[in-house]
Amino acid sequence: MLNTDLVRRKLVSLQGYLKELQQLSGVTFEEYKADFTKRRAVERLIQLLVETASDINAHVALEVTGNPPTDYYTSFMRAADIGLIARELADKLAPSAGLRNRIVHEYEAIKDEIVYESIGQAVDQYIEFVRQVEAFLEKSG
């Protein structure tokens, strides 16, 4: 059975991470690159966005199909398959799983330009993710 309270709690967390990331979206690339704390904050927030959204995807997919997704990328594709989010959004969000993996597993190999440039996209796309999941929950009752 779909635990809507769990999903809604995770959506609240996502909205908090988005608010924090939005506060960092106004910095210039030079400021970002020069400030270790800002760089790590952005990296961590992107990681949290991907992981929290994937948790939502996995929970709903497991409840709807009986099978959880096998990884972060697949969780977004499965979310589209089950109607949690639109395919177009899933196609945009799924690659953020790769960025999350680079942040977590290859810390020294992170390209500051890629992470910095992803800030605006992440904010826009995850705001839309929240909106679509909320709409799904409304339809589900």
Asked whether 64 and 82 are in contact (CB, 8 A), the reply is yes
CATH class of 4-140: mainly alpha
Answer for the pair 73, 130: CB distance below 8 angstroms, yes or no.
no
pLDDT of amino acid 103: 73
- C-beta contacts of 96-104 below 8 A and 24+ residues apart: 96/46, 96/49, 96/50, 96/122, 96/125, 97/50, 97/54, 97/71, 97/72, 97/73, 98/73, 99/46, 99/50, 100/46, 100/47, 100/50, 100/51, 100/72, 101/72, 103/43, 103/46, 103/47, 104/47
- For residue 96 the two structure tokens come to 């953020």
What are the 10-residue block averages of pLDDT along the chain, 141 residues in total? 94 97 94 93 93 96 93 94 97 86 67 87 96 95 68
Given this model, what pLDDT does residue 111 score?
83
**Per-domain residue ranges for the chain?**
4-140
How far apart are alpha carbons 60 and 4 in whole angstroms?
Answer: 9
pTM for this predicted structure: 0.92
